[in-house]
Each structure stands twice: as C-alpha cells, then as structure tokens.
Structure 1
C-alpha cells in the first residue's frame, strides 16, 4: 500500500489504526454489515478515493438545505469516510478537525437516508470493535448485535463477497 500517495491525494495523513486494518484485512465486510473502504480498491463501492469524492459531492449538496452537524461548524472541520453499512446508505466518517493529529480523529455515523448524525469519541478500530461486540453506545448498530448475536466474527474480502472486480 502506498500510503504516502494516498495521503497526498486525500490532502491529509490517515490514522495508524486504519492503516493497520487495511494492511491486515484489505477491502471487505465485517459480519456482513460494515464495509471497510480501502485506497485503490478494485471495487468502486469499497474505494476510499472514489467514495471520498462521491461523499464530498453528496454532502455539499445536502448541506445546501440541511444543517450541518454541530461538530462540522468549526472552521476547517470536515468528514472523511472510512466505512459504510451494508444496504442502508449509512456511512462512517472520521471527524477531521484542524490541527488535530489523525490518531485523535473520532467517528461520526450518518444514517445516510436522513439527517441524523451520531458522534463517537473513539477512533475507527475501537468503534468497529465495539459495534461487532455489541458494546457500542449507538442507536444505529444495536440491531446488528441483537439480531446476529455472533459467537464468532467474520471478515469476507470484497472479492469473496462481490466476485470479479466491478471497475
């Protein structure tokens, strides 16, 4: 993975825990629910660069008629997607604040098909672990753990789940 190139394209460094997730797992889905975005994925839906550009455009249009979340009212604050929820339109973002080191970024969940945002004061790996183990304090992912009640967690690569590349 060429992290230096990815960070140049995005205009920012990325959190170390995210890099470790990508290097360990690559693009794919946790427990058939949370898809990890990866730089230069062969699958457009899983590509960090493609999804960042798409989400930036969608959110710019959205905020012409909806109020931004309070966390984004700070000058220079923005969001950067790192994952999405299967079948819901919901995205997980980092809250990128000016002057803040990427390892200090926290998670914002947007329900995708509505105006609600949920802030979590943790990084992406800790949040993902909390979601998968049912310990996340969230209105949105509680159903995942209650419905699945997994005794073991699964990660499937995008290739295993989606088949041949869709680019």
Structure 2
C-alpha cells in the first residue's frame, strides 16, 4: 500500500467496504491514465468527504454530484468560460498538451486538480487547487494522497486555501453514498 494512504487509513478509517472500479473504462472516458495512488485511495474509500471539507471524486459515484467523469466534463467548460471572461490562465496550462483533471472539490467551491503534462507520468503530476470564489491557484508538488495526508493529518502543507488545517481529531471520512 502507498505509504501516504496507509497513514490516512490508520488515522482516518474508510467508512464503507472497499469496492473495485473499472479504471480502464474510466481512463478511456477521461482520455488518460490516472495516478496509481488516486486509484488505490478511491478503491479503499470510495468517493466521499474528509473532515467535512474535501470531497474525493469517484467514478460511477452513487451521488451524481461527485462523479469523477461528469465533474471533469463540466470543469473543462467552466475553465474555458473563465478564461474567455478574462480570468488569467496559469502559465503551466499554456504549455502544449497540458490540462487539468479534477480529483476532489471542497465545501467552499475550490477544486483540486492534477496538472497533467505531456510526457510526464501520472504519478508525477502536480496537485493544483483553484480557489472557488476567486482567481488564485496553488501548486503542490505532491501526489493526491500525500497532499491529503499533509493537509488533513500532519499539517506539513503550506496553503492559503487550507489555512485552518489540520482539524482536531478525531478525523472523519463519510462516503458519498451516505449523502443520497
């Protein structure tokens, strides 16, 4: 098991039994291979809410608002609209072939993405966060599981958007299926 995920599981136990996902189908729909730690995280936890703040997206999520594939289709259009409307596009997204892929959202409307770059392996993608009600972007050179561990548990990540993390224990994960 990925060390960051092992630490998350020890600190924040999954609320439901693990379920397998058809990652080949999901990756075909998204047009890319996804990071291995994200697939492991979602297979263990499913989609859901960490500490009442971060919703991890899941393919074929029982709650349609947190479906990985649907959310990514919607985000592409939303980003294009922001940039057409004059919001500055991060320089990293000006690189040929680069794109964002959403993997989580927050209760405040922020979106957590990977910066998928041409020629870069998915396990090396940079975590990006887009402020939900503003123009700011944050970059974290971590995998999604390392980012979650550093924000939710250890407090090692520096973030203006997650300035009040980690929360006090006990930590909690609630499955998206429980919000139907």
Normalising to structure 2: TM-score of the pair? Answer: 0.85
Partner of 1:69: 90
Partner of 1:22: 42
| d(CA) in 2 for partners of 1:159, 1:78 | 29
Give the length in aligned residue pairs: 158
Q: How far off its partner does 1:36 sit?
A: 0.3
Listed as ranges, the gaps of 5+ residues in structure 1 are none
Task: Determine whether 1:106 maps to 2:126.
Answer: yes
CA contact (8 A) 2:48 2:175 kept: yes
Superimposed CA distance per residue, residues 83-114 of structure 1 (whole angstroms, 9 cap, x where no aligned partner): 0111x110000000001110011100011111
**Higher RCO (CA-CA < 8 Å; seq separation 6+):** 2
Normalising to structure 1: TM-score of the pair? Answer: 0.91
| d(CA) in 1 for partners of 2:76, 2:64 | 15
Partner of 1:153: 171
| d(CA) in 2 for partners of 1:137, 1:66 | 24
Partner of 2:99: 78
| d(CA) in 2 for partners of 1:66, 1:142 | 24
Listed as ranges, the gaps of 5+ residues in structure 2 are 1-20
Q: How far off its partner does 1:116 sit?
A: 0.4
| d(CA) in 2 for partners of 1:70, 1:13 | 23
CA contact (8 A) 2:61 2:177 kept: no
Q: How far off its partner does 1:144 sit?
A: 3.3
RMSD across aligned positions (CA): 1.0
Task: Determine whether 1:93 maps to 2:124.
Answer: no
Task: Determine whether 1:142 maps to 2:163.
Answer: yes
| d(CA) in 1 for partners of 2:171, 2:92 | 32
Q: How far off its partner does 1:63 sit?
A: 0.9
